[in-house]
């Protein structure tokens, strides 16, 4: 596929062309002291010269000494906010002259262009595709949003304190799922973006912006950047035999120990880019309209497993175990892949800083001690 090297003005043109093409452009932007996905009018809305600092249960942003565009990691929002929104009305039922009228809500007509999407995020979207599309009951809203979206990935040039995509085999370089992928090269003498097309649509768009042809030397620079990022990961997941460890660790004391700290606040599941659980509620209103609404839910809420008069997973330990054993264990059986991409969101955005890599290491350590 075509590869081109653009300057900042070339990147500006890319985003302008997406707008001209009718896309709603979503990309990283600074809002409420956080770098999160939001609406991007032009490259000026990107977090230029900003970076983030992330640790377990802690997040901050700060100024960098350069004008880099992409020198930070993922924020609390993921693409699931757009592809599988937190709240959706699926159906309304109204009184009509001849009985009831059922109206299925039409999918949004928005065509999203996602800019600055990291490798872990692309891997998460691939996982959500498996959940929402590769089934006899594909989700029409999700399918539509995916079908009409355009994605510009970014190879990470910095690793965050809670990142562990390298150990999950999901980053830091984008390998699939993008129309274009950008690597930012920032040196004293120049500020460039090595842009590679991943699809025909990407190649077409790239063909329409000013830039020079990439050389072998550029490819070498890109390779060195992602290798350096991989070496600087803040964390690593012990992945050896992970699925079996989850299955065998059912009665581990780890769960009760985590439950001492876990607030069962649901944050980990709601920032996770692959969690897909929702609850369906049918509501009525006083004028006689009924609505079926789908809202994100979490395996950490009691009502999530409320069946026949009680919650199946009443203890916090059981709920944490459900989350992590599903994500890292049963997911393999269900979808043929791990549900974790190593983005580190659940670590950063856990108010008490529970670290999935640390808990897995404890579980593995205990299993080894028993063996």
Contact residues for other proteins, defined by CB under 8 A: 31-34, 36, 57-60, 76-77, 81, 86-87, 260-267, 270-271, 281-287, 295-296, 298, 300-303, 316, 348-349, 351-352
Choice between 146 and 294, CB closer to other proteins: 294
Query: What token pair was written down for 231?
Result: 């070496």
Give the C-alpha separation, 139 to 126, whole Å.
Answer: 15
Instruction: Give me the residues paired with residue 54 across strands.
Output: 59
- Cα–Cα distance, 302 to 178 (Å, whole number): 38
Other CB atoms within a 10 A radius of the CB of residue 80 amount to 23
Min dist. Cβ of residue 298 to other proteins (A): 7
Residue 312 DSSP one-character state: S
- Going by the DSSP 8-state scheme, the letter that residue 104 receives in this structure is E
Least separation, in Å, of the C-beta of 65 and other proteins? 23
- Identify which of residues 232 and 264 has a Cβ nearer to other proteins in the complex: 264
Select 42 or 295, whichever has its Cβ closest to other proteins.
Answer: 295
Minimum distance from residue 199 beta carbon to other proteins (Å): 29
Nearer to other proteins, 199 or 264 (CB): 264
Give the nearer residue to other proteins in terms of CB position, either 206 or 324: 324
User: Omega of the bond prior to 89 within 30 degrees of 0, cis?
Assistant: no
- Which of 325, 348 has the CB closer to other proteins? 348
SS3 string of 145-205?
HHHCCEEEEECCCCCCCCCCHHHHCCCCCCCCCCCEEEEEEECCCCEEEEEEECCHHHHHH
As a whole number of angstroms, the distance between CA 125 and CA 127 comes to 5
Distance CA 151, CA 79 (A): 11
Q: How far is the CB of 234 from other proteins (least distance, A)?
A: 16
Taking the least distance from each CB to other proteins, the nearer of 36 and 324 is 36
d(CA 159, CA 145): 29
8 Å CB contact between 172 and 119? yes
CB of 79 to other proteins, least distance (A): 13
* Residue 158 to residue 84: CA distance in whole angstroms: 28
Minimum distance, C-beta of residue 80 to other proteins, in the bound complex (Å):
11
Please report where in the chains the tokens 């809305």 appear, as a residue. Answer: 45
Residue 49 vs 353, nearer CB to other proteins: 353
Output the smallest distance, CB 346 to other proteins, in A: 12
Cβ count within 10 A of residue 354:
20
CB of 45 to other proteins, least distance (A): 17
């Amino acid at each position: 596929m075509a590869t081109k090297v653009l300057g900042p003005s070339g990147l500006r043109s890319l985003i302008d062309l997406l707008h001209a093409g009718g896309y709603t452009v979503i990309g990283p932007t600074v809002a409420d002291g956080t770098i999160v996905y939001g609406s991007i009018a032009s490259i000026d809305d990107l977090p230029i010269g900003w970076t983030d600092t992330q640790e377990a249960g802690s997040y901050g942003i700060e100024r960098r000494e350069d004008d880099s565009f992409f020198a930070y990691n993922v924020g609390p929002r993921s693409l699931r906010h757009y592809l599988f929104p937190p709240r959706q009305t699926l159906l309304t039922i109204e009184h009509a002259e001849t009985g009831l009228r059922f109206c299925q809500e039409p999918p949004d007509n928005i065509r999203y262009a996602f800019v600055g999407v990291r490798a872990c995020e692309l891997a998460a979207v691939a996982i959500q595709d498996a959940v929402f599309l590769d089934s006899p009951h594909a989700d029409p809203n999700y399918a539509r949003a995916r079908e009409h979206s355009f994605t510009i990935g970014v190879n990470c040039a910095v690793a965050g304190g809670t990142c562990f995509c390298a150990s999950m085999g999901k980053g830091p370089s984008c390998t699939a799922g993008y129309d274009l992928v950008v690597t930012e090269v920032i040196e004293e003498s120049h500020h460039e973006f090595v842009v590679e097309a991943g699809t025909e649509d990407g190649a077409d768009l790239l063909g329409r912006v000013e830039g020079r042809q990439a050389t072998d030397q550029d490819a070498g620079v890109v390779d060195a950047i992602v290798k350096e990022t991989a070496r600087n990961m803040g964390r690593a997941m012990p992945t050896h035999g992970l699925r079996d460890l989850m299955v065998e660790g059912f009665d581990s004391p780890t769960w009760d120990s985590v439950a001492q700290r876990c607030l069962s606040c649901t944050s980990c599941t709601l920032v996770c880019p692959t969690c897909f659980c929702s609850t369906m509620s049918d509501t009525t209103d006083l004028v006689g309209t009924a609505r079926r609404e789908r809202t994100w839910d979490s395996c950490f809420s009691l009502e999530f497993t409320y069946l026949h008069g009680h919650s199946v997973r009443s203890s916090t330990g059981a709920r944490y175990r459900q989350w992590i054993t599903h994500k890292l264990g049963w997911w393999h059986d269900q979808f043929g892949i791990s549900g974790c991409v190593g983005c580190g969101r659940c670590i950063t955005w856990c108010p008490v800083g529970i670290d999935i890599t640390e808990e897995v290491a404890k579980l593995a350590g205990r299993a080894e001690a028993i063996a």
